[in-house]
Amino acid sequence: MITVEQAEKLILANAGDYGNEIISFDGSLGRVLAETIKSDRDLPPFNRVSMDGIAIKYEAFANGQRTFTIKATQAAGDTPIDIDTQNECVEIMTGAALPESLDTVVRYEDITIEDEKATVVLNELRKGQNLHLQGADRKKGDIVLTPGRLITPAVLNMLASVGEVEVRVKRKPRVVILSSGNELVEADKTPSPFQIRRSNNYMVRAVLDQLGIDAAMLHLPDEPTVIKQTLQQCLYNFDVLLLSGGISMGKFDYIPEVLNELRVEQIFHKVQQRPGKPFWFGKQAEGPVVFAFPGNPVATFMCVQRYFVPWLNKTLSVDERTSKYAVLDRDLKFEPELKYFLQVQLTSSAEGVLLAMPVEGNGSGDFANLADTDAFMELPLEKKEFKKGEVYKIWQFNIL
Amino acid sequence: MITVEQAEKLILANAGDYGNEIISFDGSLGRVLAETIKSDRDLPPFNRVSMDGIAIKYEAFANGQRTFTIKATQAAGDTPIDIDTQNECVEIMTGAALPESLDTVVRYEDITIEDEKATVVLNELRKGQNLHLQGADRKKGDIVLTPGRLITPAVLNMLASVGEVEVRVKRKPRVVILSSGNELVEADKTPSPFQIRRSNNYMVRAVLDQLGIDAAMLHLPDEPTVIKQTLQQCLYNFDVLLLSGGISMGKFDYIPEVLNELRVEQIFHKVQQRPGKPFWFGKQAEGPVVFAFPGNPVATFMCVQRYFVPWLNKTLSVDERTSKYAVLDRDLKFEPELKYFLQVQLTSSAEGVLLAMPVEGNGSGDFANLADTDAFMELPLEKKEFKKGEVYKIWQFNIL
């Protein structure tokens, strides 16, 4: 049985690369940039007026001039209007390009206007005030975004600003989610007293949905011929197979054997962890990867967060973020020789500390508390007692 | 000019309620539950076997019995098979319902099997081991989810498990995003040297997309008749108008006036904050609310996060989360009599502390750094100097 760290390493070593594609920027939210974006102009592209008011020549003000004849009004987007003499000004709006003959903007709040003349009511001005100078943020040709950047709303804003309406992004893997087991019935059916409803697959699809992946869903009965046929088709049509159930030591756990027959090489089976010990991972040479998770929902969910998401991030070359830590908020014992992924609810203390309160549960089969859980806290294998106040790594899936 | 707190209070006092609707559970990710969900059965619904192996009667083991005749094999989903005498066992799989005549499960790892007989190789067992007892997590009729619950993947899992395939959720408001200003050209056009590309609207739409709202987009030229006509139609067709630009003191900032003509009551104009001082908010009696944000992207983005998102959460009656705090990671001065919303990048320290590093910028007009920002830190109005190590509230929008 391998450790969590070994499992992670083997999974990341089998990250894929499904190439790039070019899409319209306004459908690119959540995608990963696969090109370098440079600014096509200075940002701001001109000396940008940042307050409504008048633009004057500072020298005139310094020489005692307080009242200026309004030569014209310039809106944002207008061609700049220059003055002829320093006792003139231009009434000018936020977002307008400062005329070359002017260098300072005085807000409406600091002037009075009468008979087409504006009078500055301040005794002091700063030369160049209320301006956002050309190129102050970025110069034309500067790199503004690099490959690996997750496209957030603010990144979209940047893409639009520099006119990158067609954008090269990483292509996403094609994923199929396979549930298995004859004990499962559809969610809209009434199970027999000894059956349960299928739910894992919906949960996994929802996680993928949040990751921007539209996954297919299939079900495998405990029937080796059907399992083989279905898996064969999936291996042909998808890049990633996410299975849940059918991989333990049970007599009807045909999946590892069938995968082997289909030339999917087992990379590991079983990880020193709870939940999720029976986790199986393999890959077909030059073909898809197969994550086969244990059937219980908490184990499936944890394995998706702890293994599949990092695999996907590496596959899409997403910029890495640093790890995240929280403070355990209650004493805890965990005896087995397994790394324990503790379900926790997170709160932010008034000291800026992230606190992790264990969500009570009855071991790995209990999914009733998963809905109240924000993260898994990864408790080290070497310890059995964990004290309130100790800090451990977390895998967060709900934003606070 | 009102404070941020006053603005927030007025906005929340104008939260709406657009009723409920019933949708299929598998399309409900990101929606807000509007009903109480009870479990239709015990969870687990039966004494669930949690390891593959054999089920025995503990009493027999306690009396010295080590070898048991395998009466039958029971898969998950099968009707339970009872034994006739205590020297029998049932070979049983994870997920199966424990037969009534049996009470303890021994893993394959702890037995040997030969000639249809299983021998336990341990000298000690715990009565009831490797079982997840009926109703241990929830009882039939227990409340498992309450109104206000955001539907996450784990909540979906619960809905599927209890067979709630049709689910009552809060109806979402219909939202339109309106950009304004003649200085703006489409993102795929080359602007004149004095124009810029439209980008705010795409950014706001992306934020709404993340919130599960599919918003419409329109543009308003600086032309009072067109503005009036368009706004009138929007007030008729939408529940929320999100405008950006056109609300400052500029000569072409027609929007507040036109809104007034259209009987949208101004609730406030201008907030003691940077960015976003000119923020305008109003409501038509019995009609839509109007958020009119300043035109610069950082101000728009901040106001969406700080005001629109809380308004939406209240409108949808989402369960409130506690506030979030982070530790300022560098000294900072901010002189104006405004509450400063500082752009910060977040990291989690090895002590579990959330650290907020200011992202350098040139004031409110600088959006080039917004893409590198994870949150706004809300710095109190009363102070001008902020020291590394001090803790302030944050408004986080990127998950780490």
Q: What is the dihedral of CA A42, A45, A49, A54, to 10 degrees?
A: 130
Q: How far apart are CA A112 and CA A127, in angstroms?
A: 20
Q: What is the ipTM of this complex?
A: 0.94
Task: Mention every residue, 6+ apart, whose C-beta is less than 8 A from residue B94.
Answer: A248, A250, A295, B49, B50, B51, B52, B76
Best residue in A203, A242, A305, A393 for a mutation probing chain B (most B CBs within 10 Å):
A203
The tokens of A127 are what? 């030369």
**Over the range A257-281, which residues count as b (16 or more CB within 10 Å of their CB) and which as e?**
ebbeebebeebeebbbbbbbbbbbb
CA A85 to chain centre: 55
Angle between helices A200-210 and B153-161 (to 10 degrees): 160
CB atoms within 10 A of CB B64: 6
Classify domain A324-396 at the CATH superfamily level: MoeA, C-terminal, domain IV (2.40.340.10)
| B268 C-beta neighbours (distance < 10 Å), count | 15
Which pair of tokens denotes residue A9?
């390493």
CATH code of domain B4-15+173-315: 3.40.980.10
Contact A160 B25 (CB under 8 A): no
CA distances from B223 to A94, B189, B195, B218 (A): 17, 21, 17, 14
Q: Say if the Cβ atoms of B77 and A351 lie within 8 Å.
A: no
- If you average pLDDT over residues A327-349, what whole number do you get? 95
- Minimal C-alpha gap between B260 and chain A (Å): 21
Residue B94 to residue A250, Cβ atoms within 8 A: yes
Q: Check residue B361 and give its pLDDT.
A: 65
Domain ranges, ordered by start, for chain B: 4-15+173-315, 20-42+147-170, 48-132, 324-396
pLDDT at A253: 83
pLDDT of residue A181: 87
In order of B43, B49, B306, the CA distances from B139 in angstroms are 6, 18, 41
Asked if the C-beta of B113 comes within 8 angstroms of chain A's C-beta atoms, the answer is no
Distance between CA atoms of residues A86 and A346, nearest Å: 62
Please classify residue B10 by burial: count the beta carbons closer than 10 Å to its beta carbon, then call 0-12 exposed, 13-18 middle and 19+ buried.
middle
The three-point CA angle B60-B66-B68 to 5° equals: 80
- Torsional sign, CA A95, A26, B279, B399: negative
Percent pLDDT > 90 in chain A is: 91
Phi, psi torsion values for B99, nearest 5 degrees? -65, 150
Element (H, E) at A209: helix A200-210
Average pLDDT over residues A219-229: 92
Contact state of A25 with B196 under an 8 Å Cβ cutoff = no
d(CA A34, CA A313): 13
Which residue matches tokens 């081991």?
A: B129
What local confidence, expressed as pLDDT, does residue A258 receive? Answer: 94
d(CA B175, CA B303): 16
Tell me, rounded to whole angstroms, the distance of Cα B233 from its chain centroid: 31
Bridge partner list, B145: B37
Give the gap in angstroms from C-alpha B85 to the nearest C-alpha of chain A.
23
Task: Give Cα separations from B396 to A165, A266, B202, B274, B373 (angstroms).
Answer: 27, 41, 20, 17, 9
> How far is CA A313 from its chain centroid?
10
Contact between A74 and A80 (Cβ < 8 Å): yes
Is pLDDT above 90 for B321? no
Region class of B52: left (phi > 0), else alpha (psi between -120 and 50), else beta: beta
pLDDT band at B292 (very low <50, low <70, confident <90, very high): very high
Max Cα separation, chain B? Answer: 96
B368 inside 8 A of chain A by CB: yes
B80 touches chain A (CB under 8 A): yes
Query: pLDDT averaged over chain A?
Result: 94
Q: Given this model, what pLDDT does residue B222 score?
A: 85
Rounded-to-integer distance, Cα B221 and Cα B223, Å = 5
Two tokens at A48? 């940008």
Which CATH architecture does the domain made up of A20-43+137-170 adopt?
Alpha-Beta Complex (3.90)
């409130």: which residue's tokens?
B320
∠ Cα A39 A140 B356 (to 5°): 60
Interface contact A348-B137, CB threshold 8 A? no
pLDDT value of residue A362? 57
How deeply is A397 buried, as exposed, middle or buried, from its count of CB atoms within 10 A (0-12, 13-18, 19+)?
Answer: buried
- Asked if pLDDT for residue B362 goes beyond 70, the answer is no
Asked if A278 and A243 count as a contact pair (C-beta separation under 8 A), the reply is no
Is the pLDDT at B364 greater than 70? The verdict is no
Instruction: Decide if pLDDT at A298 tops 90.
Output: yes
pLDDT recorded at residue B252: 76
Question: Does A322 or B348 have the greater pLDDT score?
Answer: B348
As a whole number, mean pLDDT of residues A212-229 equals: 94
Chain A hits for B207, Cβ within 8 Å: 153
The predicted pLDDT at position A399 comes to 76
CA gap B306, B341 in Å, rounded:
10
| B345 to A308, A397, B384, B398: CA distances (angstroms) | 26, 19, 21, 10
CB < 8 Å to B321, chain A: 400
**Average of per-residue pLDDT across A16-27:** 97
Query: Which of A95, A210, A396 lies closest to B183 in CB terms?
Result: A95
Binned at pLDDT 50, 70 and 90, residue B367 comes out as: confident
Q: Which of A 293-332 lie inside 8 A of B, CB atoms?
A: 295, 297, 301, 321-327
Identify the pLDDT of residue A296. Answer: 87
- Determine the pLDDT at residue B360: 75
Q: Inter-chain contact B194–A80, Cβ cutoff 8 Å? A: yes
Candidate from A77, A157, A203 with C-beta closest to B202: A157
CATH H-level, domain A4-18+172-315: superfamily: MoaB/Mog-like domain (3.40.980.10)
pLDDT of residue B186: 94
What secondary structure letter does DSSP report for A150? Answer: B
Q: With a CB-CB cutoff of 8 Å, which residues 255-294 of chain B face chain A?
A: none
pLDDT score recorded for residue A285: 94
Position B322 scores a pLDDT of 86
B188 touches chain A (CB under 8 A): yes
Q: Are A96 and A130 in contact (CB under 8 A)?
A: no
Q: What are phi and psi of A53, to 5 degrees?
A: 165, -135
A:B CB pairs within 8 Å = 350
Check if CATH label 2.40.50.110 holds for domain A48-132: no
In percent, how much of chain B has pLDDT > 70? 98
Nearest CA distance, B378 vs chain A (angstrom): 13
- What tens digit of pLDDT does each residue of B121-180 get? 999 999 999 999 999 999 999 999 999 999 999 999 999 999 999 999 999 999 999 999
- With bands split at pLDDT 50, 70 and 90, how would you rate the model's confidence at B110? very high
Residue with tokens 């020298």: A59
The mean pLDDT value for A196-205 works out to 96
Asked if A382 and B165 touch (Cβ cutoff 8 Å), the reply is: no
Q: Which residues contact B311 (CB under 8 A, 6 or more apart)?
A: B11, B12, B14, B15, B289, B291
The model's confidence at residue A13, banded by pLDDT at 50, 70 and 90, is very high
Instruction: Give the distance between the most distant pair of CA atoms in chain A.
Output: 96
Residue B37 CB partners (closer than 8 Å, separation 6+): B143, B144, B145, B146, B158, B159, B162, B164, B167
Lowest mean pLDDT segment, chosen from A134-138, A245-249, A260-264, A339-343: A245-249
Question: How do beta strands A67-74 and A117-120 pair?
Answer: antiparallel
CA–CA distance, A28 with A24 (Å, rounded to integer)? 7
The answer to whether the Cβ–Cβ distance between B158 and A222 falls below 8 Å is: no
Q: Residue B358's closest CA among B368, B338, B372, B348?
A: B372
Tell whether the model's pLDDT for residue A364 goes beyond 70: no
Closest CA relative to residue B393, chosen from B324, B336, B342, B339: B324
Beta bridge partners of A90: A55, A72
With residue A357 as reference, give the H or E element that holds it. strand A354-358
pLDDT, position A368: 82
Q: Do B250 and A295 touch (CB under 8 A)?
A: no
Q: Do β-strands B264-269 and B280-284 pair in parallel, antiparallel, or remain unpaired?
A: antiparallel
pLDDT tens column, A40-53: 999 999 999 999 99
Report yes or no: A60 and A90 within 8 Å, Cβ to Cβ.
no
Cβ contact, residue pair B371, A157, below 8 Å: yes
- The single-letter DSSP state of residue A253 is -
Residue pair A334/A275 in contact by the 8 Å Cβ criterion: no
Alpha-carbon distance A152 to A171, whole Å? 17
For B33-40, what is the mean pLDDT?
98
A196 contacts B95? CB cut-off 8 A: yes
What is the model's pLDDT at position A365?
55
Output the pLDDT for position A249. 75
Chain A residues with CB-CB distance to B107 below 8 A? 249
Q: Which of residues 376-395 of A touch B (CB under 8 A)?
A: 391
What number does CATH give the domain B20-42+147-170?
Answer: 3.90.105.10
* pLDDT reading at A274 higher than 60: yes
Residues of B in contact with A137 (CB under 8 A): 361-362, 366-369
Mean pLDDT of A141-161: 96
How confident is the model at residue A5, as a pLDDT?
Answer: 98
The pLDDT tens digits for B55-77 are 999 999 999 999 999 999 999 99
Residues B214-233 have pLDDT tens digits of 999 999 988 899 999 999 99
Supply the mean pLDDT for chain B: 94
In this prediction, residue A209 carries a pLDDT of 96
Q: What is the pLDDT of residues A299-327, one digit of tens each?
A: 999 999 999 999 999 999 999 888 999 99
